[in-house]
């Protein structure tokens, strides 16, 4: 979901490990680990800690006129605290999901200093674990935006699509979260455009509560989204208060129906589809995880051109540009919570992990490309927590599986390599490396055939 009046704030930043220093001039996205992790001895040069990002920001919020100003961070790895002229706006925990903060408390027109302290220090209560086989880059690793609204902001917009078969009429339900004080003039106006830009329908609904839910007009025989023909519709949503536009957003939707019956195979839009997949880490030489959108698009086009129709985004939620590319190019997606190795901690660990999962699902709910929510990777690894046991990991995995279906019952949960969890998730990927880490390559067919018989929904995600 994109606010239609958003402005990119990737320029005019300075960064330093010393909060009192002027700092080096940089453009976002940025990671202070972009080069040190490439050192021949990264263990001695891989910098972990707090770095400080600063840029000027003009305060445009005007409470007297009902105008509000917002900052949207696509990611801050791994923890962030945001201030404006030393006034705290808020913070965020988790390096791969976005967050939005309101600019408030300063007079309109103030030329202020926006300061963001970003921290990638080791923290056993924050996933992913340091035992993960990828670097935990620090920085403002994705885009930062600002936008303005009136008194009411459309904070979240989910469109639940029911399409029982490929030939059926699509039924749509709108769920919206609104931030601000409502009155009896508040309405939500929605317009759906087909892939050619022709209006399918328009509807206006009164808004009576912050958590708005209502049925939308049907779409008879929609043009279907698929890897071969990724048809995308455009939905615009406008909030009006007292007849004036308070907020406006744009979202893209794809109509598709998938089925993965026990024993397989995978079906999309009623037809059997062989998933030809690969993986992708958010990592680029000279950039680290702070990959510019243009390079992400270049990479995704290469993946599509290589003949793939499926991708596992390992092992964390990835940038909007990556998911935009998957939606537009026609790549089915397994998107993953960054619970990678390290066992399970206490209540702080669980609370932060739940929140990260909620943010991932909420932010990418409308993506037609996503079919699986990955709950973790290699959860049988050595633990960072002395009290962690397989039983505790399994219990929390069950909680996340249940939470996933509570938040989004249109997609399946998935997991790679934690044998006890195979009975919990919808889709399981065992670890089969015959002739690579163990065994002989001649055993591959036999071992894989046994796994197909053992696991009701098997997706062989990693192999060699």
Residues 6+ apart with CB under 8 A from 360: 96, 97, 317, 335, 337, 373
Which DSSP symbol is given to 129?
P
Q: Quote the longest CA-to-CA distance of the chain.
A: 74
CA proximity to 430, closest of 393, 395, 390, 380:
380
DSSP string, 182-234: --TT-EEEEEEE-TTS-EEEEEEEE--SSEEEEEEEEESSPPBP-SSS---EE
Written as six digits, the tokens of 331 are: 């790549």
> What is the DSSP pairing of strand 332-336 with strand 370-377?
parallel
> Which residues carry out catalysis?
378
Residues 6+ apart with CB under 8 A from 365: 158, 408
DSSP string, 398-453: HHHHHHHHHH-TTSEEEEES-GGGGGTSSEEE----BTTTBS-GGGHHHHHHHHHH
Residues 6+ apart with CB under 8 A from 28: 9, 10, 11, 13, 140, 142, 143, 144, 290
CA proximity to 64, closest of 100, 113, 109:
109
Q: Does an H or E element contain 81, and which? A: strand 79-84
At residue 284, the 3 state secondary structure works out as strand
State how far Cα 253 lies from the chain centre: 16
HSE (side-chain half, CA atoms, 13 Å) at 321: 19
- Radius of gyration from C-alpha coordinates of the chain: 23
CA 66/CA 146 separation, integer angstroms: 17
């Amino acid at each position: 979901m994109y606010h239609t009046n958003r402005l990119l704030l990737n320029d005019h930043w300075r960064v330093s490990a010393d909060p009192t220093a002027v700092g080096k001039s940089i453009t976002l996205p940025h990671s202070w680990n972009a080069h040190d992790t490439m050192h021949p001895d990264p263990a001695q040069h891989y910098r972990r800690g707090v770095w400080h990002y600063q840029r000027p920001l003009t305060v445009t919020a005007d409470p007297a006129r009902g105008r509000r100003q917002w900052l949207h961070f696509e990611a801050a790895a791994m923890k962030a605290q945001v201030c404006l002229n030393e006034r705290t706006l808020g913070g965020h925990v988790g390096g791969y999901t976005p967050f939005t903060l309101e600019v408030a408390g300063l007079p309109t027109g103030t030329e202020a200093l926006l300061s963001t302290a970003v921290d990638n220090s080791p923290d056993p209560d924050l996933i992913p674990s340091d035992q993960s086989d990828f670097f935990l880059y620090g920085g403002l690793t994705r885009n930062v935006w600002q936008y303005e609204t009136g008194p009411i902001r459309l904070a979240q917009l989910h469109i639940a699509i029911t399409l029982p078969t490929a030939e059926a009429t699509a039924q749509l339900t709108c769920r919206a979260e609104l931030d601000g004080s409502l009155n009896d003039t508040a309405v939500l106006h929605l317009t759906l455009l087909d892939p050619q830009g022709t209006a399918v329908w328009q509807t206006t609904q009164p808004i009576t509560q912050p958590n708005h839910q209502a049925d939308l007009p049907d779409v008879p025989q929609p043009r279907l989204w698929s890897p071969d023909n990724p048809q995308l519709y455009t939905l615009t949503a406008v909030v009006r208060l007292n007849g004036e536009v308070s907020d406006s957003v744009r979202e893209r939707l794809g109509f598709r129906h998938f089925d993965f019956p026990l024993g397989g195979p995978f079906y999309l839009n009623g037809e059997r589809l062989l998933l030809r997949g690969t993986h992708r880490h958010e990592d680029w030489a000279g950039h680290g995880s702070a990959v510019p959108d243009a390079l992400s698009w270049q990479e995704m086009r290469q993946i599509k051109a290589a003949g793939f129709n499926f991708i596992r985004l390992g092992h964390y939620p990835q940038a909007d540009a990556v998911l935009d590319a998957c939606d537009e190019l026609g790549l089915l997606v397994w998107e993953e919570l960054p619970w990678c190795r390290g066992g399970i901690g206490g209540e702080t660990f669980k609370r932060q992990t739940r929140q990260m999962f909620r943010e991932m699902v909420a932010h990418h709910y409308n993506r037609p490309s996503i079919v699986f929510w990955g709950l973790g990777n290699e959860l049988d690894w050595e633990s960072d927590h002395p009290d962690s046991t397989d039983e505790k990991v399994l219990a929390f995995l069950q909680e996340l599986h249940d939470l996933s279906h509570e938040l989004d019952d249109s997609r399946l949960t998935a997991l790679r390599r934690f044998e006890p969890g195979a009975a919990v998730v919808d889709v399981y990927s065992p670890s089969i490396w015959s002739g690579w880490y163990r065994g002989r390559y001649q055993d591959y067919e036999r071992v894989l055939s046994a796994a197909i018989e053992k696991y009701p929904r098997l997706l062989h995600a990693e192999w060699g």
